[in-house]
Chains A and B, each alone.
Chain A
Amino acid sequence: MSYIYNIIKADYLQRTRSYSFLITLAVTVFMAYSFVPPDTASYTTLSAAGYKGVCNSAWVGYVSGIMTTIMLSFYGFLLVNSGIKKDIDTEVGLIIATTPISNFKYLLSKQLSNYLVLLTIVGITFTVSIIVFFIRGSAYPFVLSNFIFPYLFFAIPALFVVASLAIVGEVFLPKRNILQFVLYFFLCGICMSSINKSGAQTNGVFDPFGLSLITKSITNYINIHFHESLNSVSFGFIFNGHKAYKPFVWEGINWTAAFIWSRLIWMCFGLGMVYVSSLFFHRFDFKQAAKAGGNRNQLIPTKREQPSHQFSRLDRETMPPLVVNFGIYPFIKTELLLLIRQGNKLIWWVNGALWLAMFIAPFGIAYSYLLPILLFLQVTRWSELVTKERTNRIHYFAYAAYKPLQRMLPSQILAAVILAIGLSFPVIIRAAIASDVYAIINIMNGTLLIILLAVTSGILSGGKKLFEVFFFLLTYAVINKVPATDYLGSIPQQNVTVFMLTVLTVNVVLITISFIARKYQIRNL
């Protein structure tokens, strides 16, 4: 097993030794700090119909553990679902395929490496949760077990399943990232919706997050002590102004053997999924994979190369005269073509359906929900916008071309803006009909913000993951009506002009950073 350990170690180090992971950790610290809001905050993360636990060890530890489980279950998938893809892109997979390692052991090593990455983040949120307890100046005693157990029985098993699902996604839906995301979030949505239902009778055994046990404990406590008839608790960032809560002293839950066994069974289920995936794993044999996927054209030459005797006949006399055109129109055209062709064609059917739905649905729904979702579905298009040169090793040509900074980067941004506006067109046209100029400006400003975030994070981190995870969290927050994240301006603002100017200023800052950073990169390969 020592070589599996070495594979895991190498894979883990490869993933974590990057600026984007460092930034992810920084964001994690910030988020972990916000998991347990102070009493003065305008939001809460665990809401039980006007009741809120006092800031004791149980409340801080459990809320932090629950939020880590939920948030990391959502965006952790995005963070780790490219372990196998990396081996394909770097062609290390071809070397691995020729070694004696079995499919199961290889996939298991990838799964464990995924898990370690997630556990690293868990370790940070755990530490921050303890720090938060002391920062909040709680009058209650510090009980370490109230911090350890929620992480041990909620986060750790749930993330094992997430790490396994990332493997399943990569094996069964290779090169279909968006489809993986959509299916995964759909699955997560189902699991989240069951948190308030299944717990009462089953002690949360069938709940992959295990959080129904918390729901049951909190509702029981409130119902008994305050004579209420609650049957649900809400998790996540819930903004409600500075609403006053009735405090209650909650001391955590009693862990049952059945529940602990259920966590182990979920972990075994995760392991089982990896095993089943290994039976279908392509082992980097793309000829085989292409046959199975019916996508032969992409992967194997259809024709045998014919020898030619014309190579040497290429001379300048036969060429048409050279016409110089330093305009950026041909650039924009090709960048747009690359954006459109990126990813799976099936996504365009979903895009089309959402695009049409934005004409038909009530304006508020189209603006607040359908448009952010449609823009998020293009996440890999945006994230590859300025990273594809390096990913495909085109940057040598690109940076040695004439005025790369003044021509290439603007073309990429403009192509993305054209696509984003095209996708937003139904909402823009409806806003225009309603003479809602602010909405039009906000949409333009907001879509530009997303593009510039993709550009800046891509240039600075050199990868796609940072933006993908950030955009996912942003979309999640927008759909949950978190005011500060409303980049499209769909939530009515007190001062629209200030909002517009703020987004515009951020855009100017981002574009400046991206140009400065790219200028440096062009001359320092």
Chain B
Amino acid sequence: MALTITNLTKHYNSQKTALTDCSITINKGVLGLLGPNGAGKSTLMKIIATISQPSAGALFLDGIDIVKKPDSIRKVLGYLPQDFGVYPNLNAYEFLAYIAAMKGVGGKGLHKRIELLLEGVNLTADAKRPIGSYSGGMKQRIGIAQALLNDPKVLIFDEPTVGLDPEERMRFRQLISNLAHDCIIILSSHIVSDIETIADEVAIMQDGKLLSHAPQHEIIKQADGRIFEVLLDNSVLNSFKNQYHVIDTARQLDQIKVRYIATNGNVAASSTSVTATLEDAYLFLTQNKG
């Protein structure tokens, strides 16, 4: 199974372009989408989810044009939008039954399927309560459950870990890993560590453009040898920031440990080279090409 995106462009109006000439092929496994706000991640996901149409370009799922035939992907799609809601007067079971009706999932096994999903996202005990009374994390878990209702072959998660506590986040990551072997999962998150843990491939976007798309280790490789740490006095920190792109600072006794990107071989004295992480690579790419 492969999702092929070619030269995708989306204009909202003459002033605003959300996506510019994006081309990417997504195979089975987890693709992590990284990018600052307004990079075009949600727009790309909406177009794949068929709820927004591209201004130009094409999308093919196993050779079928999903812009022209949106129902072909809808049958196998699980989508968790960034800003979704629920019907507050329905309980979790009723809500999932409603979404199942939308997705065309039925039969005698539906009841059992919903029960297992509710159990899987730890909502069995609350399944009979109106969803209006749920906390943010519980609603997010209902959202995850609905995305999985139809055994999707293409799963789109837009900021799925928002509202989840650290333990839930960890379990969500395990869930995605379990599902990844037989479907395409596209996941966007501002939390780079989430992507780092579960994504096989990473795509970095900025200003509607695809900056880089590669397996995670190759993305990280692009920042190798450019990430350094140095101990500085607090008094020189500001002038240092003017010269280098500081990624992180940490207080150490009376000094500050500064992690920074050295471009064009411009390395500060007494610096130590450190192993790059995905976050470093992301910041390096977006800073350099932005």
Contact = CB atoms under 8 A, between A and B. Distances in A.
Given A325-B107, A399-B50, 18 more contacts: A298-B130, A300-B133, A305-B137, A309-B171, A311-B121, A311-B175, A314-B117, A320-B109, A320-B116, A321-B109, A322-B105, A322-B109, A322-B151, A337-B94, A338-B89, A401-B103, A402-B102, A407-B104
A334 B263 CA distance: 59
Given A305-B137, A324-B105, A331-B101, A314 B74 contact: no
A397 B175 contact: no
Interface stretch (B29-37, B79-87, B254-262): B79-87
B101 A311 contact: no
Given A310-B122, A314-B116, A393-B83, A342 B150 contact: no
Contact of A301 (B46, B99, B133): B133
Contacts of B46: 525
Nearest to A299: B133
B90 interface: yes
A381 B104 CA distance: 25
Contacts of A333: 101
B53 A524 contact: yes
Interface string A284-301: 000000000000011111
A203 to B, nearest CB: 50
Contacts of A328: 101
A324 B132 CA distance: 29
Nearest to B100: A330
B52 A523 contact: yes
Contacts of B50: 399-400, 523
Nearest to A338: B87
Interface string B106-140: 11111011001101111001100110111101100
Nearest to A332: B101
B230 interface: no
Interface in B132-172: 132-135, 137-138, 146, 148, 150-151, 167-168, 171-172
A327 B120 contact: no
Contact of B122 (A308, A394, A401): A308
Contacts of A337: 90, 94
Nearest to B121: A311
A319 interface: yes
Contacts of B125: 303, 306
Nearest to B81: A396
A319 B151 contact: yes
A337 B121 CA distance: 25
B53 A313 contact: no
27 contacts: A298-B132, A301-B129, A302-B133, A307-B167, A309-B171, A311-B121, A311-B174, A314-B148, A318-B116, A319-B109, A319-B151, A320-B108, A320-B112, A322-B150, A324-B104, A325-B105, A330-B101, A331-B98, A331-B101, A334-B94, A338-B87, A338-B90, A393-B84, A398-B102, A401-B102, A401-B103, A523-B51
Contact of B179 (A316, A324, A398, A400): A316
B99 A314 contact: no
Interface in B173-213: 174-175, 178-179, 182
B85 A393 contact: yes
Contact of A311 (B112, B126, B134, B171): B171
A165 B175 CA distance: 53
A392 B86 contact: yes
Nearest to B164: A311
A27 B75 CA distance: 43
Q: Report the 4 A-B pairs with minimum CB-CB distance, sorted nearest first.
A: A323-B107, A325-B106, A314-B120, A320-B109
A339 B99 CA distance: 16
B101 A341 contact: no
B151 A305 contact: no
Given A306-B125, A311-B168, A314-B116, A402 B100 contact: no
B88 interface: yes
Contacts of B150: 322
A408 interface: yes
- Range, interface on chain A: 35 or more
B97 interface: yes
B103 A402 contact: yes
B38 interface: no
A314 B178 contact: yes
Contacts of A297: 129-130, 133
Contacts of A481: none
A494 interface: no
Nearest to B131: A392
Nearest to A342: B89
Contact of B106 (A301, A309, A318, A324): A324
Contacts of B133: 297-302
Given A323-B110, A393-B84, A302 B129 contact: yes
Contacts of A307: 122, 167
B62 interface: no
A479 B129 CA distance: 41
A305 B172 CA distance: 17
Contact of B99 (A310, A393, A397): A397
Contact of B178 (A315, A323, A393): A315
A131 interface: no
A383 to B, nearest CB: 16
B120 A310 contact: yes
A309 B52 CA distance: 37
B122 A330 contact: no
A312 interface: yes
A194 B175 CA distance: 69
Contacts of B21: none
Interface in A97-143: none
A7 B83 CA distance: 26
Nearest to B177: A312
Contacts of B112: 320
A407 B42 CA distance: 26
Contacts of A330: 97-98, 100-101, 106
Given A337-B94, A400-B74, A312 B175 contact: yes
B97 A334 contact: yes
A407 B99 CA distance: 12
A404 interface: yes
| Most chain B CB within a 10 A radius of its CB, from A298, A309, A391, A400 | A400
